[in-house]
């Protein structure tokens, strides 16, 4: 095997990905415990945060807001709530820990329940979308998603049942992170006895300190916020850059790993890529290279790491490699700050990440592969210095690193704000421009969100939530468009079908294509495909799964992800209960497809696109140029004239995904306020 060496001492690539979405569980926290043979008490004392225990308790007692900065794996998420419980804080209320990701809530709650020696769901519990595992009056430590915390504010605006709220992983700066920060700032002014703990893996404390410190004098004793840094155990990391950019960072990643394996000392390797497709491609390349290694070279164990993997596969990355075997973990940014993998000595950083960006002029919210920030590059490099001195190979020149932005722009300034605005309106905040955002969103994004919500019927001309539609949409833990089609599905006589479709849109990786069986898997998948598009195809899969009594064996034969389907069934059941609470009739179209497609149009009409004479598609509003994604069932020679899309992925082109074929007359019938006849004719 020949390897081209282009390193000074380690290219910015433009590898594009035609499939795969952003790692929805990129914030998932996995608990690796290298001290499991010790007692629980000894294990806890081994964590870096233990040395700061007394300082944390003192600061929480003295200040309303305490900002704790500490590296991933320091124990912040599991230990700080326990310190507070042990100090007696739960005698006055519940300790809430808000997380950006759902799986983090369940994993952390399980670990803390084990350490506290209590039953999960009793003294320690969690609450995530469509799943509450806590006991009112008994639960003392409660993990929840940030979105769930916002929903609790709708019922209890001052969060009176909580004595302490801890916001974890704030460095991720998700949309709901910033919403919760702004809302808690208002609550803290009203509730002097409430304590807020903000936990971050990166040093962004000054911005947060200034946001929550109400002291306008020079007297530091009057400060309302404090900052504490928890020292980690990092070792020296040697940084290597490429001399010049690479045109294919996925291929370059594989070549760099092989170079490390043949030339460097012992130690496992962690590779950062942007998505599932890239992870699979790189893993395949590495396995091919590994097959040609000599026995004297040692062997490679290549393991993918992303949020869509089964738990058992995810946990494989934490297992110690056998003697003579070098472990290579090929990961998305799930491995950047949310997990600590033992044995990592070498890191390969592609220099890119997949983020969601909103274009208000084109009315599209797209997943885009963009350069990482300097803060992310530093976090990735830090993975190499956990247990001993390490080395990071950055696949871009040093001058490119110097051009990176200092931090990743928060979601609040780059994504569609419709959900955020709807939730804030439900909390009585009607003037978005006066809301105290940590990072104020662009005014044009707010205007676009208000425009969409008005078009969906959620807002009145006066700018208030409509009754009952707007208020009910705010209560659904879904994007406004999906909430709308669920709430009007009874009017179209197809609520059964819409429930199934929306549930299927909440899970990932429905269709499995195992390596070596690609042709057979795709042939079987074609049996589910229909001319009406991807959403009706998803409906067919779900319906067939139910007819087969949710058979795992059937899923294996059909190359369908049983775990995803099982989760969709659970979500559907919970959404059906919500519809019943709103007195929405649960009816079926009895195989009538037009009713289902019209219902989808009633909520997704802002996402309409028509076939242009150039062979591409154009959005009706904004004239955005789009193409059908290759994974779509509509990616055929005979392209439909009009479609609705669920989302857009921006790689080599702007690709539409999750499509539904429509009659353009439905747009004028169902959204005349949004589309004028002359616009449609043009």
φ/ψ of residue 159, rounded to 5: 50, 50
| Measured distance CA(398)–CA(617) in Å, rounded | 39
Kindly calculate the radius of gyration of the chain based on its CA atoms and give it in whole angstroms: 25
The reported pLDDT for the residue numbered 296 is 80
Higher-confidence position of 23 and 402: 402
Q: Helix and strand tally (H, E) in the chain? A: 25, 22
Tokens of 573: 């059941």
Q: Is the pLDDT of residue 276 over 90?
A: no
Contact indicator for 495, 587 with CB cutoff of 8 Å: yes
Taking only the tens place, the pLDDT of each residue in 427-477 is 999 888 889 999 999 999 999 999 999 999 999 999 899 999 999 999 998
Lowest mean pLDDT among 176-180, 361-365, 664-668: 361-365
| Measured distance CA(150)–CA(473) in Å, rounded | 14
Segment 556-574 shows an average pLDDT of 94
3-state secondary structure 342-361: CCEEEEEECCEEEEEEEECC
The reported pLDDT for the residue numbered 37 is 60
Tokens of 54: 């007394």
Q: Is the pLDDT of residue 103 over 80?
A: no
359-360-363 Cα angle (round to 5):
80
pTM summary value:
0.83
CA distances from 109 to 30, 31, 126, 180, 670 (A): 11, 11, 6, 21, 45
> Which is the CATH superfamily of the domain at 7-24+235-411?
P-loop containing nucleotide triphosphate hydrolases (3.40.50.300)
Cα torsion angle, 534, 682, 672, 606, sign: positive
Q: Per-domain residue ranges for the chain?
A: 7-24+235-411, 476-677
| Residue carrying the six token digits 């998420």 | 77
The reported pLDDT for the residue numbered 27 is 40
According to DSSP, the residues that pair with 643 across neighbouring strands are 609, 661
Burial of 312 (0-12, 13-18, 19+ CB in 10 A): exposed
Residue 108's region, left for phi above 0, alpha for psi from -120 to 50, else beta, is: alpha
Spatial CA neighbour of 298 closest among 290, 308, 310: 290
Q: Is the pLDDT of residue 234 over 80?
A: no
Going by C-beta distance under 8 Å and a sequence separation of 6 or more, which residues neighbour residue 18?
Answer: 277, 629, 630, 631, 651, 652, 655
Q: Is the pLDDT of residue 216 over 70?
A: yes
| DSSP one-letter code for 18 | S
Tell me the pairing of strands 364-371 and 352-359.
Answer: antiparallel
């Amino acid at each position: 095997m020949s390897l081209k060496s282009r390193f000074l001492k380690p290219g910015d690539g433009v590898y594009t990905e035609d499939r795969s979405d952003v790692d929805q569980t990129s914030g998932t926290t996995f608990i690796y415990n290298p001290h499991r043979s010790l007692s629980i008490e000894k294990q806890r004392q081994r964590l870096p945060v233990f040395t700061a225990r007394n300082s944390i308790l003192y600061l929480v007692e003295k200040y309303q807001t305490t900002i704790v900065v500490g590296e991933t794996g320091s124990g912040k998420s599991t230990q700080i709530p326990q310190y507070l419980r042990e100090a007696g804080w739960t005698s006055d209320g519940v300790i809430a820990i808000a997380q950006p990701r759902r799986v983090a809530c369940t994993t952390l709650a399980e670990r803390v329940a084990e350490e506290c020696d209590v039953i999960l769901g009793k003294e320690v519990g969690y609450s995530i979308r469509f799943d509450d595992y806590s006991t009112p009056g008994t639960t003392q430590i409660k993990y929840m998603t940030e979105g769930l915390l916002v929903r609790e504010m709708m019922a209890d605006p001052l969060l009176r049942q909580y004595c302490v709220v801890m916001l974890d992983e704030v460095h991720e700066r998700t949309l709901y992170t910033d919403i919760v920060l702004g809302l808690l700032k208002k609550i803290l002014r009203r509730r002097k006895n409430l304590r807020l703990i903000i936990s971050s893996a990166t040093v962004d404390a000054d911005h947060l300190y200034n946001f929550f410190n109400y002291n306008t004098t020079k007297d530091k004793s009057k400060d309302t916020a404090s900052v504490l840094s928890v020292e980690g155990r990092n070792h020296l990391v040697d940084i290597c850059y490429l001399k010049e950019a690479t045109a294919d960072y996925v291929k370059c990643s594989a070549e760099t790993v092989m170079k490390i394996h043949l030339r460097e000392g012992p130690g496992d390797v962690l590779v950062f890529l942007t998505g599932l497709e890239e992870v699979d491609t790189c893993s395949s390349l590495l396995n091919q290279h590994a097959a040609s290694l000599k026995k004297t070279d040692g062997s490679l164990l290549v393991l993918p790491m992303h949020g869509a993997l089964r738990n058992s596969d995810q946990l494989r990355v934490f297992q110690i490699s056998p003697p003579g075997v070098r472990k290579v973990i090929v990961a998305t940014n799930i491995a950047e700050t949310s997990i600590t993998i033992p044995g990592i000595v070498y890191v390969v950083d592609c220099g890119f990440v997949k983020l969601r960006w909103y274009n208000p002029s084109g009315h599209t919210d797209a997943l885009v592969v963009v350069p990482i920030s300097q803060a992310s590059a530093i976090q990735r490099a830090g993975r190499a210095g956990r247990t001993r001195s390490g080395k990071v190979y950055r696949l871009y020149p040093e001058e490119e690193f110097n051009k990176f932005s200092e931090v990743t722009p928060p979601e609040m300034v780059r994504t569609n704000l419709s959900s955020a605005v709807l939730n804030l309106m439900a909390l009585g905040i009607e003037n978005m421009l006066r809301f105290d955002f940590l990072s104020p969103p662009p005014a044009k994004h707010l205007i676009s969100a208000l425009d969409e919500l008005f078009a969906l019927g959620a807002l009145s001309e006066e700018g208030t939530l409509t009754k009952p539609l707007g208020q009910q949409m705010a209560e659904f833990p879904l994007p406004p468009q999906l909430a709308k089609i669920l709430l009007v599905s009874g009017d179209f006589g197809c609520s059964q079908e819409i429930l199934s479709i929306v549930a299927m849109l909440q899970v990932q990786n429905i269709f499995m294509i195992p390596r070596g069986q690609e042709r057979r898997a795709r042939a079987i998948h074609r049996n589910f495909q229909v001319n009406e598009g991807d959403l009706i195809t998803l409906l067919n899969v779900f319906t067939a799964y139910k007819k087969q009594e949710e058979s795992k064996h059937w899923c294996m034969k059909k190359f369908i992800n049983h775990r995803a389907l099982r989760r969709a069934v659970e979500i559907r059941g919970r959404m059906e209960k919500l519809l019943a609470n709103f007195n929405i009739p649960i009816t079926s179209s009895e195989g009538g497809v037009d009713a289902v497609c019209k219902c989808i149009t009633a909520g997704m009409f802002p996402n309409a696109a028509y076939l242009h004479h150039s062979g591409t598609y154009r959005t009706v509003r904004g004239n955005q140029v789009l193409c059908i994604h290759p994974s779509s069932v509509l990616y055929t020679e005979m392209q439909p004239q009009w479609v609705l899309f669920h989302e857009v992925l921006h790689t080599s082109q702007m690709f539409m995904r999750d499509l539904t074929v429509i009659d353009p007359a439905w747009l004028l019938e169902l959204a005349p306020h949004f589309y004028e006849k002359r616009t449609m004719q043009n």
